[in-house]
Chain A
Amino acid sequence: MKGLIIKDLYALKSYGIIYALPLVIFAAVLVFEGASTVCMLPCLLLGILPSSLQAADEGSKWLQYSACLPYTRSQIVSAKYFVSLILNLGAAFVLLIGNTLNIVFVNRDFSQLAMLPMWAALYLTAGVFGSLCMPFIFWLGVEKGRIVYMVFCGLMGACMGVIGAWSADLVLGEIPNIAVIMAAVFAIAAALFAISWAASIAVFKKRQL
């Protein structure tokens, strides 16, 4: 599967570099302005990047060509989810560096360091959202799956609005039982990611190439 992941990383270098810009901007904002749920936006954007890679694959007929290579269909699907994980972890890591720099050099409230795991969970949860439309694209192809993709993009925007409005006056550390809530949210997100992965494999095994 290493070859498939390398291929996607090459594709990311070509198509995905523009997605890195919001990440850098929001990380910089984090350093100077402090943590905010709005900073989940680049995670949401990067979360849909694997679906865009899949669209590029279909455009170039890579899916058909990959049938010539020594990979199973499960591996072809799993490569996309590994790339999704790499992107999620990478985005969360960059944003957490922003959080940490803010706490250490700008805010200087070191008690906030205890909140970092919760921010990590939030960023990772946001990144999972985009992967939920992948089974539809693996099942229907990009042409038909694009409608689902657009619905997901709309939903993501709506969620951003709701979360932004809800969290405007909230301080994460002051929400009662926040650690438990975040753990539960993260567990649900991880479960959804796993379900999406398994569903993509199941539908792609039946797809006619």
Chain B
Amino acid sequence: MTNAIEIKGLTKAYDKFTLDDLCLTLPSGCIMGLIGENGAGKSTTFKLILDMISRDGGEIRLLGKDNRENLSLLKEDIGIVPDEIGLPATLNAKQVGRIMENSFSNWDSEAYNGYLTKLGVPNDKAFRKLSRGMKMKLGIAIALSHHPKLLLLDEATNGLDPVVRDEVLDMFFEFTRDENHSILISSHIVSDLEKLCDYIAFLHNGRLILCEEKDVLKDEYRLVKGSAEEINRLPEASVIGKKIMPYGAEAIVKRESVPEGAVAEPIDIEQLFIFMVRKED
């Protein structure tokens, strides 16, 4: 089966930031979460995937095709929610639907109206009068209403309240029930990605520091708690990161390196990310 996304050696240099030799593969039918702090390169990666900015090197294939060849045709099969939904301020959801109907060959008006109803987006309210959360919901409805095979979601759940976020995550789950459907999603809300994703990729300062199946990560690492002396005694090579506090210390280590009798807990992805970034810095 073709991979939904294949990125090899992707490089983009700015004056004060470089996305350096990024390699990512998202298999069809899977969800990959792209985690990174502000300025880590997540939006740059999305922009490069959509050819909005020129790359300095590397290759990107979407649904098996080079992203610079016939990208406009490829976008018929890609649903995109950027970090900011740039619709004209005066348009309402109904007018937006008419524009999209005349843009996507496989636009499904019934599905669009269904999503608007489900997400509570008013049909007749001007875009400028919608809250950020509402704007994101409209963007999500647009992205899903032309039956894409791949969803690219750049901070798509930001600005949504927890209840709606949960609803939206369910919609994304529903989307990937089809084994040909895939999602690449970036977010600051790591708990969302932990719920949703099969694969996790960590970006830090423009470099990919980790890309692995979520279950493997959760299985492979443990959070060890103890005194500062105990934590400092752990073999350096197996420590992913550690935090020494006045009242104790903790470290994330590979499971096989957990000392006998030590207090070790399963990790969550947010902890792993924070510890890894601290070690990198």
Residues of A within 8 A of B (CB): 2-4, 6-7, 10-11, 14-15, 56-57, 59-72, 75, 206, 208-209
- Quick check: B72 and A72 within 8 Å, CB to CB? yes
Q: Are A70 and B73 in contact (CB under 8 A)?
A: yes
Q: Are A2 and B102 in contact (CB under 8 A)?
A: yes
Is A10 in contact with B95, judged by CB distance below 8 angstroms?
yes
Q: Write out the residue numbers on chain B whose beta carbons fall within 8 Å of the beta carbon of A71.
A: 72, 103
Which of A14, A66, A68, A208 contacts B53 (CB under 8 A)? A208
> Closest residue to B126 on the A side, CB-wise?
A14
* Closest Cβ neighbor of A53 among chain B residues: B88
Which of chain B's residues has its CB closest to A69's CB? B103
CB pair A65–B50 under 8 Å, yes or no, is: no
Could you name 19 residue pairs across A and B whose Cβ atoms are closer than 8 Å? Answer: A4-B103, A6-B99, A7-B91, A10-B88, A10-B91, A10-B99, A11-B90, A15-B90, A59-B89, A62-B86, A64-B84, A67-B50, A67-B51, A67-B52, A68-B80, A70-B72, A70-B105, A208-B53, A209-B52
In the complex, whether B75 has a CB less than 8 A from a CB of chain A is yes
Q: Nearest CB to that of A7 among chain B residues?
A: B99
Shortest C-beta distance, B159 to chain A (Å), equals: 15
B41–chain A nearest beta-carbon distance, Å: 15
Q: Which of B73, B86, B98, B101 has the most CB of A within 10 A?
A: B86
What is B's interface to A at a CB cutoff of 8 Å? 47, 50-54, 71-73, 75-76, 80-82, 84-91, 95, 98-105, 127, 143
Does B87 contact A60, Cβ atoms closer than 8 Å? Answer: yes
Consensus secondary structure, chain B interface: loop
- Chain B residues closer than 8 Å to A56, beta-carbon distance: 88-89
13 further interface pairs, Cβ-Cβ under 8 Å (given A3-B102, A71-B103, A209-B53): A3-B101, A11-B88, A15-B90, A60-B127, A64-B82, A65-B84, A66-B86, A67-B50, A68-B143, A69-B100, A70-B73, A70-B76, A70-B105
In chain B, what residue has the closest Cβ to A62? B86
Task: Give every chain B residue within 8 A of A59 (Cβ-Cβ).
Answer: 89
How far is the CB of A207 from the nearest CB of chain B, in Å?
9
Q: Are B82 and A68 in contact (CB under 8 A)?
A: yes
Residue of B nearest to A76 (CB): B72
Residues in A with CB closer than 8 Å to B102 are: 2-3, 6
Q: Which residue of A lies closest to B54 (CB)?
A: A208
Q: Enumerate chain A residues within 8 angstroms of B100, measured Cβ to Cβ.
A: 3, 69
Most buried by B among A11, A14, A65, A209: A65
Best-buried of B51, B54, B102, B143 by chain A (most CB within 10 Å): B102
Q: Give Cα A80–Cα B54 distance, bound, in whole angstroms.
A: 24
Per the bound structure, the CA–CA distance linking A117 and B143 in Å amounts to 48
Q: Residue on A with the closest CB to B81? A: A68
| Complex-state Cα separation, A208 to B47, whole angstroms | 9
A105 to B76, CA, bound (A): 55
Choice from A62, A63, A70, A209 contacting B47 with Cβ under 8 Å: A209
Is B103 touching A70 in the complex (CB atoms < 8 A)? yes
Known: A60-B87, A208-B54. A3 touches B99 (CB 8 A): yes
Whole-angstrom CA separation of A67 from B227 in the bound complex = 53
Q: Which of A7, A65, A69, A208 interacts with B75 by CB under 8 Å?
A: A69
CB A140 to nearest CB in B, in angstroms, measures 16
Given A68-B75, A208-B52, the answer on whether A10 and B103 have CB atoms closer than 8 Å is no
CA distance A61 to B127 in the complex (A): 13
Q: How far is the CA of A60 from the CA of B143 in the complex (A)?
A: 18
Q: Which of A62, A67, A71 has the most CB of B within 10 A?
A: A67
Give bound CA distance, A206 to B90, whole Å.
Answer: 29
Contacts of A7 in B (CB 8 A): 88, 91, 99
**Are the CB atoms of B72 and A60 closer together than 8 Å?**
no
A11 neighbours in B (Cβ, 8 Å):
88, 90
**Nearest 5 pairs of A and B residues by beta carbon:** A61-B86, A3-B103, A65-B86, A68-B80, A3-B102
Does the CB pair B90–A10 fall under 8 Å? yes
Point out the residues of chain B lying under 8 angstroms from A57, CB to CB: 88
Task: Tell which of B50, B52, B85, B95 has the most Cβ of chain A within 10 Å.
Answer: B52
Q: Which residue of B lies closest to A71 (CB)?
A: B72
Determine if B86 and A63 form an interchain contact, defined as CB atoms under 8 angstroms apart. Answer: yes
Q: Write the nearest CB–CB distance from B120 to chain A, whole angstroms.
A: 22
Q: Is the CB of A14 within 8 A of B90?
A: yes
- Residues in A with CB closer than 8 Å to B51 are 67
